[in-house]
Amino acid sequence: MPDNQEHSSPHQHQEHQQGQEHHASPSAQQHPSPSRHETSPLPQQHPSPAQKSDAKGNANGQRGPGIPLKDRLWAFYAGKYKSLFIIPLLLMLLSLGIIGAGYASTGSFIVKDVSLKGGATITVPLDKEIDTPAIEHAIRAAMPGHDILVRGYGIPGQQQGVIISADIDINSKEQLDALLTAISSSLGSPFKEGSYGIEFFGSSLGASFFRESLIAMLVAFALMALVVFVYFRTFIPSVAIILAAVGDMLAALAFLNLFHIPIGTAGIAAFLMLIGYSVDTDILLTIRVLKRKEGTVDERIASSIKTGVTQTAIAILAMGIGFAMAQSDIIRQIMLILIVGLTADLVFTWIQNVGLLRYYLERKGRT
Over range 205-232, report the average pLDDT: 90
How far apart CA 292 and CA 304 sit, in angstroms, is 11
What is the spatial order of strands in the sheet that 158-166 belongs to?
Answer: 148-155, 158-166, 119-125, 197-201
What pLDDT does 366 receive? Answer: 67
Q: Are 341 and 249 in contact (CB under 8 A)?
A: yes
Q: Are 61 and 82 in contact (CB under 8 A)?
A: no
Residue 284's DSSP bridge partners are none
Q: Are 125 and 137 in contact (CB under 8 A)?
A: no
pLDDT digit string, tens, across residues 343-366: 999 999 999 999 999 999 998 876
**Choice between 18 and 116, residue whose per-residue pLDDT is larger:** 116
pLDDT confidence tier of residue 66, bands split at 50, 70 and 90: low
**Choice between 188 and 100, residue whose per-residue pLDDT is larger:** 100
Over range 186-214, report the average pLDDT: 84
Instruction: Identify the structural domains of the chain with CATH numbers, from first to last.
Output: 83-110+205-364 (1.20.1640.10), 119-201 (3.30.70)
Task: Find all residues with CB under 8 Å of 185, minimum gap 6, and list them.
Answer: 138, 142
What pLDDT does 309 receive? Answer: 96
Question: Which pTM was predicted?
Answer: 0.76
Cα–Cα distance list, 355 to 38, 70, 80, 237, 348 (Å)? 60, 19, 9, 10, 10
86-90, 184-188, 350-354: lowest mean pLDDT where? 184-188
> In Å, how far from its chain's centre is CA 126?
42
Half-sphere exposure (CA, 13 Å, Cβ side) for 188? Answer: 7
Q: Chain-wide mean pLDDT for the chain?
A: 82
pLDDT confidence tier of residue 97, bands split at 50, 70 and 90: very high
Residue 180's DSSP bridge partners are none
How far apart CA 332 and CA 111 sit, in angstroms, is 16
The angle that helices 86-106 and 235-258 make with each other, rounded to 10 degrees, is 50
Cα–Cα distance list, 137 to 105, 143, 169, 258 (Å)? 22, 10, 20, 20
Cα–Cα distance list, 237 to 134, 173, 218, 308 (Å)? 51, 57, 21, 17
pLDDT digit string, tens, across residues 277-328: 999 999 999 999 998 888 899 999 999 999 999 999 999 999 999 999 887 8
Q: Are 139 and 289 in contact (CB under 8 A)?
A: no
pLDDT confidence tier of residue 3, bands split at 50, 70 and 90: very low
